[in-house]
């Protein structure tokens, strides 16, 4: 009997999937390669149903003889193992991100005379309805919070970009590129106190209160589905912090990062140029513990930001604090540095890796922006936050536009050089036309 192979990532079976399995069954004995959760997470959304449950569902579909894990988007390992006579797939991969994967499948099959069979992709209102419903689930507070923990579990590194209003939230949500058959996108949204303050024309000294910041958070929540990590500066007094936790958790923020400094907040990138005072280990631990006791769900995360490399206290102090903060209940550790040289960060990560109990490490490579995500992963970093790049890129462009209008006493030059067409801005947001 001929051997047939098809791969599936779906977690909701609809008539399109049943149709392709029927066609595969007509060709021979069907083996389904089920993409693992981590593979799906690298190119698509998080699967709604975990791998083992998806496997059980597919195994019980009439016509499926066997299942096998597919542990990458590349079919090669499974094809070389099974050497099927046929691979069956929808014709939707002739173009787009999977085109190169398709070409590779054809090449491999040729080596033993196998054949690729393509069927018309099921693209109808019912399937579209399913996909939209699945996407909408990620907008609920509970699901956003769960998704951050799942991303940390499944992905080698979680990639987070700053947003400071609804529009920039949409940029983080929608931006993607395709390289070598792989879709690259951001996993989460960082709401920075620096960017929130700057966008409001105010200094970054904890001047913008929680009520105002909640407005920014809600703007972003309304138009996005990705998990949100909030920069909460010092968290304020313990009593205030516990109140903030309840408010943030209720609206769907996935995690909050608080830094172990006291006094008038000064941005850490100033380093020792301004007065930077660290909190005592004991007091900051009390704040973490109080915050954890205040939260209702298990999924909300409190991440402790260590400022020892900023204040000059050094790596040993940072490690001592990391151990204490983890014991106090911290769900993650952010190690911060303003140095372009990453020697101290690397040394911290090396020592951290030897701790008996660890939580995910977070890095914000603003100063050491030359360091790649692969390098950060090698050091043990689990979450990378690009903390202020959208507002830093927007401001120069807006200043150039303003200066051009002043110089030319008209908008033509600015319109040509710096502005998107008015029709595009009118239709940029869904429902605008």
Instruction: Collapse the DSSP code of 133 into the 3-class scheme (helix H, G, I; strand E, B; otherwise coil) and give the result.
Output: helix
Burial of 338 (0-12, 13-18, 19+ CB in 10 A): middle
Q: Between vectors from CA 376 to CA 337 and to CA 368, what angle results, nearest 5°? A: 40
Phi-psi region of 51 (alpha: psi -120 to 50; beta: other; left: phi over 0): alpha
Using the structure block, give the residue that is written with the tokens 């947001």: 429
Which CA distances in Å does 424 have to 224, 321, 348, 421, 433?
Answer: 20, 50, 47, 5, 10
Which CA distances in Å does 334 have to 88, 282, 378?
Answer: 46, 18, 16
Distance CA 166, CA 255 (A): 19
Evaluated on CA atoms 233, 238, 244, 246, the torsion sign reads positive
Catalytic residue, candidates 37, 204, 260, 299: 204
149 with 122: CB under 8 angstroms? no
Element (H, E) at 426: helix 422-427
Residue 204 annotated to the active site: yes
Distance CA 94, CA 118 (A): 9
Distance CA 255, CA 138 (A): 15
The token duo for 2 is 């001929």
Distance CA 22, CA 63 (A): 7
Strand partners, 29: 3
Neighbouring residues of 335: CB distance < 8 A, sequence distance ≥ 6: 306, 309, 318, 322, 345, 348, 349, 352, 361, 362, 363
The token duo for 359 is 């939580």
Instruction: State the catalytic residues.
Output: 204
């Amino acid at each position: 009997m001929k051997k047939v192979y098809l791969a599936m990532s779906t977690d909701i079976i609809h008539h399109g999937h049943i149709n392709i399995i029927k066609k595969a069954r007509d060709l021979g004995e069907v083996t389904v390669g089920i993409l693992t959760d981590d593979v799906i997470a690298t190119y698509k959304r998080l699967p709604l149903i975990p791998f083992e449950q998806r496997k059980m569902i597919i195994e019980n579909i009439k016509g499926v003889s066997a299942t096998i894990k597919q542990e990458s988007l590349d079919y090669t390992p499974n094809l070389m193992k099974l050497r099927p006579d046929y691979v069956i797939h929808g014709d939707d991969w002739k173009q787009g991100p999977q085109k190169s994967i398709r070409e590779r499948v054809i090449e491999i099959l040729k080596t033993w005379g196998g054949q690729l069979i393509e069927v018309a992709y099921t693209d109808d209102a019912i399937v579209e309805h399913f996909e939209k419903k699945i996407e909408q689930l990620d907008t609920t507070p509970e699901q956003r919070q769960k998704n951050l923990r799942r991303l940390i579990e499944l992905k080698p590194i979680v990639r987070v970009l700053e947003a400071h209003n609804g529009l920039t939230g949409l940029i983080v949500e929608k931006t993607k590129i395709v390289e070598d058959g792989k879709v690259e996108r951001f996993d989460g949204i960082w709401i920075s106190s620096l960017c929130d303050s700057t966008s409001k024309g105010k200094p970054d000294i904890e001047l913008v209160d929680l009520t105002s910041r909640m407005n920014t958070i809600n703007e972003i929540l309304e138009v996005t589905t990705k998990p949100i990590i909030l920069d909460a500066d010092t968290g304020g007094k313990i009593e205030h912090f516990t109140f903030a936790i309840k408010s943030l958790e209720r609206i769907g923020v996935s995690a909050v990062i608080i830094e172990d400094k006291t006094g008038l907040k000064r941005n850490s990138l100033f380093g020792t140029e301004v007065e930077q005072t660290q909190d005592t280990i004991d007091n900051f631990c009390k704040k973490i513990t109080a915050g954890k006791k205040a939260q209702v769900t298990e999924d909300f995360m409190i991440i402790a930001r260590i400022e020892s490399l900023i204040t000059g206290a050094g790596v040993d102090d940072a490690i001592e604090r990391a151990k204490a903060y983890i014991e106090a209940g911290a769900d993650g550790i952010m190690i911060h540095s303003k140095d372009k040289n990453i020697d101290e960060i690397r040394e911290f990560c090396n020592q951290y890796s030897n701790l008996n109990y660890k939580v995910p490490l977070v890095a914000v490579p603003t100063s050491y922006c030359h360091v790649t995500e692969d390098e950060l992963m090698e050091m043990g970093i689990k979450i990378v936050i690009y903390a202020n790049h959208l507002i830093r890129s927007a401001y120069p462009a807006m200043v150039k536009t303003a200066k051009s209008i002043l110089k030319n006493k008209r908008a033509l030059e600015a319109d040509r050089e710096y502005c998107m067409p008015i029709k595009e801005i009118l239709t940029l947001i869904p429902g605008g036309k």
